[in-house]
Amino acid sequence: DSGVTQTPKHLITATGQRVTLRCSPRSGDLSVYWYQQSLDQGLQFLIQYYNGEERAKGNILERFSAQQFPDLHSELNLSSLELGDSALYFCASNMGSVNEQFFGPGTRLTVL
């Protein structure tokens, strides 16, 4: 158990819908990272927040957005969902001053 929690574990929705994925980092960690894992693209970095501020962006679609709240939990919002958005979404965390990242168990999103 890495100490990173993610909810929900599974999410099934329809095209065009909007969903919110939630992540709670390890106690004491200030930085949260979001990754997408799909069969064809592998693990891809989406976005990083540090202490409430966006710090880095990867190839995140404009339909996707994220935020980190004062209690340091983070949410990833996915809108106008397409079939191709079906994937595993992972959150990772660290203190921000180290390079090791600790991953949560993921949310499996299925778009029908």
The answer to whether 21 and 6 are in contact (CB under 8 A) is yes
Q: Nearest distance from residue 16's CB to other proteins, in Å?
A: 28
Scanning residues 38 to 77, which ones bind other proteins (CB under 8 A)?
42-45, 48, 55-56, 58-59
Identify the CA nearest to 81 among candidates 112, 49, 38.
112
CB of 81 or CB of 93, closer to other proteins: 93
For 51, list phi and psi in degrees, rounded to 5. 50, 45
Scanning residues 72 to 101, which ones bind other proteins (CB under 8 A)?
90, 92, 94, 96, 99-101
Return all residues near 38 (Cβ < 8 A) that are at least 6 apart.
Answer: 44, 86, 87, 88
Binding site for other proteins (CB under 8 A): 2, 4, 31, 33, 35, 42-45, 48, 55-56, 58-59, 90, 92, 94, 96, 99-106
